[in-house]
Amino acid sequence: MEQYIIKGGIPLVGEVEIGGAKNAALAIIAAAIMTDETVIIENLPDVRDINVLLEAMQEIGANVIRVDRHTARINGGKIGAHSVDYEFIKKIRASYYLLGALLGKYKEASVPLPGGCNIGSRPIDQHIKGFEALGATVKIEGGFINAKADYLHGAHIYLDMESVGATINIMMAASMADGNTVIENVAKEPHVVDVANFLNSMGANIKGAGTDVIRIKGVKKLHRTEYSIIPDQIEAGTFMFAAAATCGDVLVKNIIPKHMEGASAKLTEMGCIIEEYDDAIRVIGRKPLRPTRVKTAPYPGFPTDMQPQIAAALAIADGTSMVTESIFENRFKYVDELARMGANIKVEGNRAVVMGVEKYTGARVSAPDLRAGAALVIAGLAAEGITIVDDIHYVQRGYERFEEKMKGLGAKMERVDSEKELQLFKYREG
């Protein structure tokens, strides 16, 4: 099993290039099969979740050509089955986007109930409510979600919570329904806007993405397009908090600074210097980091997907911070791992009281999920001594060439696959 091994204590310095947004890309590649014409998608991140979804799409007959590492050509003209029964798909949450895409195009879809990161119970009742409002019958049978409609019609849908997945899924299906759909209380995340822009570039008629209300005029057909995915806000934030935790100086490039406002504001409160450019942000860390309060919230609030990373930095701040998680109930599983590195964090319900310690010390830890794994890497980079992170397959779901990008910033970090490689690193760096 692959592991990361890190010799910490070196400030990250230099420039890092951010890739395409994983969570936008997952929805966009699923939506690409909604036309029979060929769609070209650029700035696609080369990460495990994306590759699994592309394979699942091929299983049902989509033609997928990886033109290069970050570009795919997708043709959904010969989709045979509307039922996705691909073993690995259960492991990725976003497999549910195939429901909206297939239901919209073929009025029929069958997809295994999604898995994904174990960060709490993750119901999909809002997706189902939306599909039903559009005229589909939805049943959960044998671990599958089966959705079917004679025809889809426009509807007025009010979401009980600002769910990213439900907003995107309903938006996809409604794009090819008869008539007008209004979805209220929708998610406003940058990737919701990106998916709407993508669908519009295929001929859909979606207005209001990025606001509380999305209005959709259904169209009969979608057509070819070429589309470049927005930069990954969470990957960018991860490097920003890594810069802060190591007291480094990092220029995070190829991003949309507006999407980073939550992270930038917190880093400023923590005493870092933030310089904003057109498509980059420079983070200069300053010791000691100052404590702060953070509460995760739907966009434009502080993203839940950056909660473990900021907590990893705050655990070595000079004072006590409060981290409140308001989206998922099980997102503090990294706390016990950080404790092994010397952190002093007490979890009370959905709040973590983070009592800053002077430093982390390297230890062997295990990634409990994707973003928590990234947080452990941040701690390892800041720690004194050597840290080994197990279960990095979680991290590889969402970070492309993570260790290479860190190494580009001067980190001593390797991805190893054997005891021999591990010992070699220790011998070289220890």
Count CB atoms within 10 A of the CB of residue 418: 11
Q: How far is the CB of 303 from ligand UD1 (least distance, A)?
A: 6
| Contact map string, positions 58 to 97, toward ligand UD1, x by CB under 6 A | -----------------------------------xx---
Is 126 one of the binding residues for ligand UD1 (CB under 6 A)?
yes
User: Angle, nearest 10°, between helix axes 307-314 and 370-382?
Assistant: 20
Is 316 one of the binding residues for ligand UD1 (CB under 6 A)?
no
Beta strand 293-295 with 320-324: parallel, antiparallel or unpaired? Answer: parallel
E-only strand ranges, 349-402? 351-355, 364-366, 386-390
Nearer to ligand UD1, 52 or 284 (CB): 52
Sheet hosting strand 320-324, strand order edge to edge? 293-295, 320-324, 351-355, 344-348
Rounded Cα–Cα distance for residues 162 and 112 (Å): 23
Rounded Cα–Cα distance for residues 44 and 32 (Å): 13
| Binding residue for ligand UD1, selected from 194, 232, 235, 305, defined by CB under 6 A | 305
344 SS3 class? strand
| Binding residue for ligand UD1, selected from 65, 67, 81, 161, defined by CB under 6 A | 161
| Binding residue for ligand UD1, selected from 90, 107, 127, 415, defined by CB under 6 A | 127
| Binding residue for ligand UD1, selected from 166, 195, 284, 389, defined by CB under 6 A | 166
Q: How far is the CB of 70 from ligand UD1 (least distance, A)?
A: 19
Is 124 one of the binding residues for ligand UD1 (CB under 6 A)?
yes
**One of 27, 74, 102, 117 is an active-site residue; which one?**
117
R_g of the chain computed on alpha carbons? 22
> If you count them, how many residues does the chain have?
430
The rounded Cα 18 to chain-centroid distance in angstroms is 13
Of the candidates 262, 401, 264, 266, the one whose C-alpha atom is nearest the C-alpha of residue 322 is 266
Is 187 one of the binding residues for ligand UD1 (CB under 6 A)?
yes
Is 395 one of the binding residues for ligand UD1 (CB under 6 A)?
no
Nearer to ligand UD1, 5 or 294 (CB): 294
Q: How far is the CB of 230 from ligand UD1 (least distance, A)?
A: 13
Q: Which stretch binds ligand UD1 (CB under 6 A): 121-129, 170-178, 199-207, 388-396?
A: 121-129
Nearer to ligand UD1, 246 or 307 (CB): 307
Q: Tell whether omega for the bond before 288 is within 30 degrees of 0, i.e. cis.
A: yes
Give the CB-side neighbour count of residue 262, counting CA atoms within 13 A: 25
Rounded Cα–Cα distance for residues 53 and 89 (Å): 7
Nearer to ligand UD1, 23 or 292 (CB): 23
Q: How far is the CB of 176 from ligand UD1 (least distance, A)?
A: 21
Q: Has 247 been annotated as catalytic?
A: no
Is 328 one of the binding residues for ligand UD1 (CB under 6 A)?
yes
Is 341 one of the binding residues for ligand UD1 (CB under 6 A)?
no
Q: Where are the alpha helices (DSSP H) in 223-306?
A: 233-245, 261-269
Closest residue to ligand UD1, Cβ-based?
Answer: 165
Angle at CA of residue 332, ends 303 and 301, nearest 5°: 15
250, 12 in Cβ contact below 8 A?
yes
Is 23 one of the binding residues for ligand UD1 (CB under 6 A)?
yes
Q: Where are the alpha helices (DSSP H) in 134-232?
A: 164-175, 190-201
Q: How far is the CB of 26 from ligand UD1 (least distance, A)?
A: 5
Is 225 one of the binding residues for ligand UD1 (CB under 6 A)?
no
Is 294 one of the binding residues for ligand UD1 (CB under 6 A)?
no
Count CB atoms within 10 A of the CB of residue 317: 22
| Binding residue for ligand UD1, selected from 164, 206, 314, 378, defined by CB under 6 A | 164
Task: List residues binding ligand UD1 (CB under 6 A).
Answer: 23, 26, 93-94, 122-127, 161, 163-166, 187, 304-305, 327-328
Active site residues: 117
